[in-house]
Amino acid sequence: MKYIGSLIIIACLFACSNNKHVKAGLEGTPLPSFTLLLYDSVTRFNTELIPVGKPVALFYFSTHCPFCRAQVKDMLKDMDKLKGIQFYMITDSPFPEMKNFYNEFQLAQYPNVTVGMDSARFVLNYFQTTGIPFMAIYGKDKKLNSTFLGSTNSSDIADVANE
């Protein structure tokens, strides 16, 4: 049993550590409608409210995933390059953990970053993703350009968002 558990952990870590451009089979489709519970614990935000005209990145993460945390650090370091993209950082981690993550990374100072909890795990199910970090990047027209599984560098995010 320990052997199987170890293999699963190694497989997950391997999946999370490599940048993999993955075909979701949804490229060109519009941003789906789903609801997030935002940081203030009161506001429910539906993605239908996201306006056309600015690229959107859905970044699915876990508050304790080391690769997700490294991805956030890299994105924040390069936020000048990414400020034209609206990021929706989405997790299914418990609300207090999401709030701690939000405060730890001082995400309130980034007007193009919205953090929310997806308790229904809509994003994971919709994209049928097999790991995290996961990113879906939509163009200015709110149609899916590309998805990535694993850490993704800021240049790739910017390039795909502006396709």
DSSP string, 75-123: HHHTHHHHTTSEEEEEE-S-HHHHHHHHHHTTGGG-TTEEEEE-TT-HH
Across the chain, what does the average pLDDT equal? 87
Let me know if 128 is exposed, middle or buried by CB neighbors in 10 A (0-12, 13-18, 19+): exposed
Our count of domains for the chain comes to 1
- Residue 133 preceded by cis peptide, ω within 30: yes
Per the structure block, which two tokens stand in for 2?
A: 């320990």
**How far from the centroid of its chain's Cα atoms is residue 34's Cα?**
14
Residue 4, pLDDT above cutoff 60: no
CATH number at residue 136: 3.40.30.10
Question: Residue 57 sits in which domain range?
Answer: 2-161
**pLDDT, tens digit, for every residue of 41-89?**
899 999 999 999 999 999 999 999 999 999 999 999 999 999 999 999 9
Residue 159, pLDDT above cutoff 60: yes
